[in-house]
Amino acid sequence: MNLLNGKVALVTGAGDGIGRGIALAFAREGADVAVCARRVENVRETARLVEALGRKAHWGAFDICDESEIAKFCAETEQKLGPVSVLVNNAAVMPVVDIEDMSVEQFDECVGAKFKSAVFMSKHCIAQMRRAGGGSIIHMASVTGNVGFAKHAVYGACNSALIGLARGQAMELAPLNIRVNSVSPGTVDSPMLTRYIADCGEDPVALRASFDANHPRGKVASIDEVANVFVFLASDLSANITAQDLRCDGGFSFKGGQAAV
């Protein structure tokens, strides 16, 4: 449908999984896409896949918590692709740990990747969105920001912070024709879920089944099902939607429950 023709999108945490899925969904809809992540080989492959869809790509591998690196990457993106009009803050680190056992390093890594990066990515893309005539900022939040989970308190708090950040930014940036929203998926069939299950040390088949069972329709979301929500929020179809958190969780947050850990 070419919903994003003429747009330049920037997606963080796009080395694999949902971030890669969003980048490719944007490319299929006509956007040129800049992608960044920590691992060179992963993010370079995402950029290659974007180009294979006939769109321009720019990639970077760096510490998403470093503002100087963020500023450099955003400037490079405008030089190579044009001013950013869609920003997706998807980068995340998810420590699974009780608060009494959490280290300062785990805390800083989670807050830095999830929240700090969203603030400073936004900071360095706003001027570009002005030059583009407007834009859409979309923060990847999570059902954990709406429902409390054991061992996910800090991760959930970061997602709650992103929901609040979107609302404040939406009011601040509305006069510039920049919309800001967040998306809160439930569990997604992604590499992060696979790693999570492996790290838990439980029966992987039983644990995966418990994730599916906790969703009212009997299965977790696919990457494409989540990516489609981002396409909608990035496109002009959602021109009157700002300061919202879209719960793309299959009804999970209303059903309640948590897979055994």
- Residue 197 forms part of a structural domain: no
Higher pLDDT, 189 or 112: 112
211 domain-assigned: no
The answer to whether position 153 is within a domain reads yes
Q: Is residue 201 part of a domain?
A: no
196 is annotated as an active-site residue = no
Give residue 122's Cα distance to chain centre: 13
Q: pLDDT tens digit string along 192-233?
A: 788 878 877 778 888 888 888 888 888 999 999 999 999 999
Note the pLDDT of residue 42: 97
Confidence at residue 259, expressed as pLDDT on a 0 to 100 scale: 53
Q: Could you tell me the CATH number of the domain that includes residue 175?
A: 3.40.50.720
Q: Which domain holds residue 29?
A: 8-192+224-251
Pair type for strands 178-183 and 135-140: parallel
Query: Does 239 fall in a domain?
Result: yes
Q: What is the pLDDT of residue 72?
A: 98
Domain annotation covers residue 112: yes
CA 158/CA 179 separation, integer angstroms: 21
> For the chain, what is the domain count?
1
- Burial level of 241, CB count in 10 A (0-12/13-18/19+)? middle
Catalytic residue among 59, 73, 120, 155: 155
Q: What percent of the chain has pLDDT over 70?
A: 98
Question: Does the residue 79 lie in any domain?
Answer: yes
Reported as a single tens digit per residue, the pLDDT across 107-143 is 999 999 999 999 999 999 999 999 999 999 999 999 9
Average pLDDT over residues 70-76: 98
Q: What whole-number distance in Å separates Cα of residue 76 and Cα of residue 74?
A: 5
Q: Write down the pLDDT at residue 134.
A: 98
Residue 254: how many CB atoms within 10 A of its CB?
Answer: 11
Give me the chain's average pLDDT, please.
94
Q: What share of the chain is helix, strand, coil (3-state, %, to 5)?
A: 55, 15, 35
pLDDT at 261 (0 to 100):
44
